[in-house]
A and B are shown apart, each in its own frame.
Chain A
Amino acid sequence: MKLIQVTLLAGFGTAFFIYLRFLRSSLWDRLLAVGMLAAVCLAVLIPDLTQRAADILGVGRGTDLTLYLFVMGFALFAVLTYSKMSRMSRNLTEVVRQLAITAADNADGPPGR
């Protein structure tokens, strides 16, 4: 095994561990992460695999295919992250709103006074 392969596997393995241990918990998330890690390990250990996949899909080079998949994954990640941030923003809005109204009622008196 070459040094670059060891380095890549260690890096992906660490990211995989952190993802599962600290970030996600549902079964589908874990299966997806395991599947992605398996694909990455295969691509690292058997570099010809990406070229063969590229040939099947009609892409010129294996590296191009890897880049396309990376861009797709990144776009998906960006959309999901944005969506999650919007939900968090809505929750924050609700909390701030309730705080503001509660504070005003404490100062002016509750509804129906």
Chain B
Amino acid sequence: MAGDAQSRDIWVVMPCYNESGVLGTVLGDIAPYGYSLVVVDDCSDVPVSSFVSQPFVRVVRHCVNLGQGAALQTGIDYAVAHGATYLVTFDSDGQHLASEIASLVEPLRQGVADVALGTRFALGGTAVDISRRRALVLRLATMLSRRVTGLNITDTHNGFRAFTRDAARRIRITQNRMAHASQILEEIARLDLRYVEVPVTIRYTEYSLLKGQKLANGFNILWESMTEMFSR
């Protein structure tokens, strides 16, 4: 499978900020599948290009730190410009499984959806080592997202998603930081895109929990969404 045309038309978009401890492993997991891959280095202290040298990895570096949402949009712009047919957003902290990328893209290949959203809470999805408190907060956030967007979803703020080229071009992320995840759902609703949920695995490791997975982010996300309304 590695390197065939069907794999190369999938572009993995990976925002990255100070992930030098785990990024090499994550890239190593993806390498065998032969996907095209762009890492958006959001001005990490140690530039990604200084320790990543695999030829299949393209690195785009922000000269100032903008946030995960901005990095995602940069990666999407880059992948679309380079001819991506399908785009997969993938966290760089080791939470997602490269082996599940193909199943996430499959509904798009079959033409039944424009966007595939990973879900850890639907039947078949898994959240490894998730705390009860986090699970509760995420379920409340999902209820809120369902009400705000009208989308029939079982998970929210799951960074594992796939887009067709056309969907990726139409969605525009202006929320530079964490609220981008809600904004993507709002864009799907606004643009009336066809979406499906695909069960995926999310691994909560000690590393990922230390790296900005704090529950206080929930308040920040709400704040960013509200303040965005004043600046439109």
Residues of A within 8 A of B (CB): 79, 82-83, 86-87, 89-90, 92-93, 96-97, 99-101, 103-104, 108, 111-112
Total number of A-B contacts with CB less than 8 angstroms?
Answer: 54
Q: Chain B 166-195 against A: per-residue CB contact (8 Å), 1 yes, 0 no?
A: 000000001010000000000000000000
Q: Can you offer 11 A-B residue contacts whose CB atoms are under 8 A? A: A86-B228, A90-B174, A93-B176, A96-B62, A96-B64, A97-B77, A100-B40, A100-B63, A101-B81, A104-B58, A112-B82
Contacts A86-B231, A112-B83 supplied; 9 other A-B pairs, CB < 8 Å: A82-B230, A93-B66, A93-B70, A96-B63, A100-B60, A100-B61, A101-B77, A104-B58, A111-B81
State whether A104 and B78 are in contact (beta carbons under 8 Å apart), knowing that A89-B176, A112-B83 are contacts in the complex.
Answer: yes
A12 to chain B, nearest CB (A): 29
Taking Cβ atoms with an 8 Å cutoff, the residues of B that contact A are 40, 58-64, 66, 70, 73-74, 77-78, 81-83, 174, 176, 227-228, 230-231
Q: Which of B58, B77, B227 contacts A108 (CB 8 A)?
A: B58
Main secondary structure of the interface of A (DSSP, over half): helix
Q: Which residues of B contact A87 (CB under 8 A)?
A: 231
